[in-house]
A and B are shown apart, each in its own frame.
Chain A
Amino acid sequence: MGSSAPVRVALDVGDGRAAGPSASIRRRQAREALIAAAITIVAATGILAIVLIFVFVAREAFPVIVGAPSVHDEVDYARMFLPQVWREGRPASFVWQPVGDVPKYSMIPLFVGTLKVTLVAMLVAAPIGVAAALYTSEFAPRRVREILKPTIELLAGIPSVVVGFFALMVLATFLQDTFGFSSRLNAVVAGVGLALAVVPVIFTVSEDALAAVPRSYREASLALGATPWETAFKIVLPAAAPGVLAAVVLGFGRSIGETMIVLMASGNAATTTWSFGDPVRTLPATIAAEMGEVVFGGAHYSVLFFIGVELFVFTFALNSAASFFVRRLVRRMSGKTA
């Protein structure tokens, strides 16, 4: 574009009404329309990406989803979700044992493992994350706040493989010495490691929600004689509740899907016990550990993709719930303050 162009436009507009826009203006409008169209098309990439992810993970899982004859000898819904009698005279059980004469693909040990690890992670991360957010937004002096927020963001920047390494090398030994676990790697070690990755998520989202509560709420409460902690717990926290809930739900989604920490620190034994001191195997860790050794296109391969579909659906549902809560918070904050 020449630098004289804007001046010419002004002249063209002036006397161009009757004769229609001049050629240069039309060219310019066409160019603008083209740029706008190009940007709009590129912006649709995000939508395309999420659709392609679901479609192509489901495509590889398709034989398992529809119970195709090619995989039917090895796996179907009943064998994935109901207890099976594997040897005559033995009680029915849930077994994940994909390699062997009779491959066994029960999802239940993986669900149990994922739930145990996630439960530990949430029990540790949710109170700490929300309390730290409350402190940062309500009690901390300004200078402390300005250091705390970026520091916790830095924690979020630690690669999960490093957190997994730390859990495997340091945390596992420390927790075994403290609680006397019989196996060094177990659900508690993985869960606490996971909490390190989830705390920053819960903290950041909760802190945003607490900070969004209007000053007038706090001032009104203090003016009525409430102390700062009464204001924080009885006014600010309830007002920000949907946002705090969204933070916990997001943290839950993150901990279900986290792979490397759990892969390194959980011991990876697919068990169905309820003891938290036993090694466990989660859904993501199973995919990561076994995809390297499967026959492409075989039943095991499809089952691993089926686990991917499950993870996609779970986290999609949790994220949608979190967005719903955030929207409620926004409506509450904007609707009642005026």
Chain B
Amino acid sequence: MSVRGRKLAGRGLTWLTGGAAFLVVAMLTVILWDVVRGGAGRVTWRFLTSAPEEGMAGGGIFPAIYGTAVMTLLMTIVVLPIGVATAVYLHEYAPPRSRLAEAVRVAVTNLAGVPSIVFGLFGLGFFIQFIGTGMDAAFTAPTPEGVLEPHYAKPALIWASLTLAVLTLPVVIVATEEALRAVPRDLRDASLALGATKSQTLAKVVLPGALPGILTGAILAVARGAGEVAPILFTGVAYFLPDLPDSLFTQFMHLGYHVYVLATQSPDVEATLPLLYATVLVLLVLTFALNLVAIAIRTRTRRKAAGAH
């Protein structure tokens, strides 16, 4: 090929691949633009703080926001200690070439690839059918009419939170391990040389140093947990509830599921469309804000880690 031909081909391919990158960004922009345009006018204080009315065609989404928040909070309380401890094991405690560490890594990689709907089946089969039924048998005596009260083997806030905790475990582990990797060896060595034990070094030096990264993991997990719908379909979410959940063993409303319900099961699509757009906007702003914060913290941490070496 001539020099000119090669140059032309090069320019063409640069444009072609650049066009692909541009297309991805353009799609993101189109989605954002559509949602903001459709929903911005409808998101009012009243919309955020009141319950749905008129068979979902009016009112607000407060119960869905509340349910999403409580569920992700419970999920975070469960997943964060387990995820951080696992990452600490992998990076700080596992002996080199440890079989167990290798197995944990393989398990976590595969856990990240399990389809979200399978997590839903797992929540139903394990938490509700197995644990819940076991708890019913152990703690609840049926009334003479055969009613179980309290009844554990049914969809509930706690089961949905636990299911999502399993789903987000890889997110926390991966982020925490990256954060631990960024803590310089010198700091650990200095602490140990001063006579601190391994666990003291961990608690006073390594974990504080890794805190931004752990925070990133937690935020990413919250964003993921707040947006997932498939795992909670059969484990706790409800179409409509007049009251806010007042115990771990009641059902709850959820923003993502609310979007699904409004988009697909509404008897009058035209009437609910503005509310639907407003709900999508709230969900999108929530997950985007969380992701942006996480990405910002991570970029800063990475730059700092790169600067330290």
Interface residues of A (CB under 8 A from B): 1, 5-7, 9-10, 28, 31-32, 35-36, 38-40, 42-47, 49-50, 52-53, 56-57, 59-60, 127-129, 131-132, 134-136, 138-140, 148, 150-155, 157-166, 168-170, 196, 199-200, 203, 227-230, 232-233, 250, 253-254, 256-260, 263-264, 284, 287-288, 291-292, 304-305, 308, 311-312, 315-316, 318-320, 323
Contacts and interface: CB of A to CB of B under 8 A. Distances in A.
B275 interface: no
Nearest to B130: A56
11 contacts: A35-B198, A39-B88, A42-B86, A128-B20, A128-B24, A155-B24, A162-B259, A169-B263, A264-B264, A311-B117, A315-B114
Contact of A259 (B106, B230, B287, B295): B230
Interface stretch (B3-11, B52-60, B135-143): B3-11
Contacts of B89: 39-40, 42-43
Contact of A159 (B7, B106, B173, B228): B228
A150 B197 contact: no
A159 B10 contact: no
A130 B45 CA distance: 43
A287 B14 contact: no
The 8 closest A-B pairs by CB, nearest first: A257-B115, A159-B227, A6-B195, A43-B89, A131-B20, A135-B17, A157-B291, A229-B10
B18 interface: yes
Contacts of A140: 18, 21
Contacts of A136: 21
B211 interface: no
Contacts of B21: 131-132, 135-136, 140, 148, 152
B197 A165 contact: no
Interface in B1-49: 6-7, 9-10, 13-14, 16-21, 23-25, 27-28, 30-31, 34-35
Nearest to A166: B31
Nearest to B259: A161
B77 interface: no
Contacts of A159: 226-229, 256, 283-284, 287
B28 A162 contact: no
Residue among A40, A50, A159 facing the most chain B CB atoms (10 A cut-off): A159
Interface string B114-154: 11111111101110011000000000000000000000000
Given A57-B125, A148-B21, A227-B7, A287 B117 contact: yes
Taking residues whose C-beta sits less than 8 angstroms from the other chain, chain B's interface range is 35 or more
Given A39-B85, A308-B117, A227 B10 contact: yes
Contacts of A47: 103-104, 107
A259 B9 CA distance: 41
Given A49-B107, A154-B291, A165-B276, A40 B100 contact: yes
Given A43-B86, A288-B233, 8 more contacts: A31-B197, A45-B82, A46-B108, A60-B125, A60-B129, A135-B14, A159-B229, A312-B118
Nearest to B88: A39
A121 to B, nearest CB: 14
B195 A9 contact: yes
B117 A284 contact: yes
Given A154-B295, A158-B287, A259 B117 contact: yes
